[in-house]
Amino acid sequence: MIAVFKKGDDFISVFEKFLKKNRVNSGFFYGIGGFDRAELAFYDLAKKKFLKKKFLGPFEVLSLIGNVSQREEGVVIHAHAALGRKDFSTIGGHLINATVKATLEIKIEEGGMLERKFDETTGLNLLQ
């Protein structure tokens, strides 16, 4: 299954709507395209918290990978991204959210039922 995003789309909200409309509950995805802005995070395991930072683009989405799973609250989109800048430098991390620049193309491979549950040791909601 393919999801194509348009200029100005909010990645998380549009992707959640796409998943619901197409009844995708679990699977893995990868994609390429561009973002105008992005919020990335790095998980500090010692502090059990995400360090977040917002970035202004434009960016080339060099790699976008992740999975779709379920929690009691509903669908969970877990994505990581490597983003290229105009000066050819890169940034990357856990993708909190982003705004699409011109387009974003994602291939989704459905499979199984992936569930997440809270893990005391890491402080994360891990796949079961």
On the CB side of 11, how many CA atoms lie within 13 Å of its CA? 30
Q: Determine the CATH number of domain 2-127.
A: 3.30.1330.80
Residues 90-128: tens digit of each pLDDT: 999 999 999 999 999 999 999 877 777 887 888 888 777
Domain boundaries, the chain: 2-127
The H-or-E segment that residue 14 falls in is helix 11-21
Model confidence, pTM: 0.88
CA distance 126 to 128: 6
Residues 75-85: tens digit of each pLDDT: 889 999 999 99
For residue 110 the two structure tokens come to 């459905």
**C-beta separation of 57 from 37 below 8 A:** yes
Alpha-carbon distances of 65 from 47, 78, 81, rounded to whole Å: 25, 8, 7
pLDDT band at 88 (very low <50, low <70, confident <90, very high): very high
